[in-house]
Amino acid sequence: MGIGSYDPIETETINADMFRGRSDVLGLDICWEHGQLRFYDPAEGRYLMTFDEEADGRLAAEAEVRRLRDELSRVQSESET
């Protein structure tokens, strides 16, 4: 593949709703599954998270940090008395 050129990726039909192709440039499998584009990392053996999954994980982590800060403040207040 040259700069500014496009080489199509060969795809494999898994079933009527699933297609998969390999991107050597990305080192990922590019998958169309049930109407969604997904990226699969064969080295890790897992899908990369979608934008929504990543955002949900970030929000959950932020909520856990808030909870732990509150707990730390409570414990520190109790030890001062």
Q: List, for residues 32-62, the tens digit of each pLDDT value.
A: 998 999 999 999 999 999 999 999 999 999 9
Supply the pTM of this predicted model: 0.67
- Predicted pLDDT of residue 36: 92
Provide mean pLDDT across the span 1-8. Answer: 74
- Predicted pLDDT of residue 20: 95
- Predicted pLDDT of residue 37: 94
Residue 2 has pLDDT above 80, yes or no: no
Q: Give 4-28 as a 3 state SS string.
A: CCCCCCCEEEEECCEEEEEECCCCE
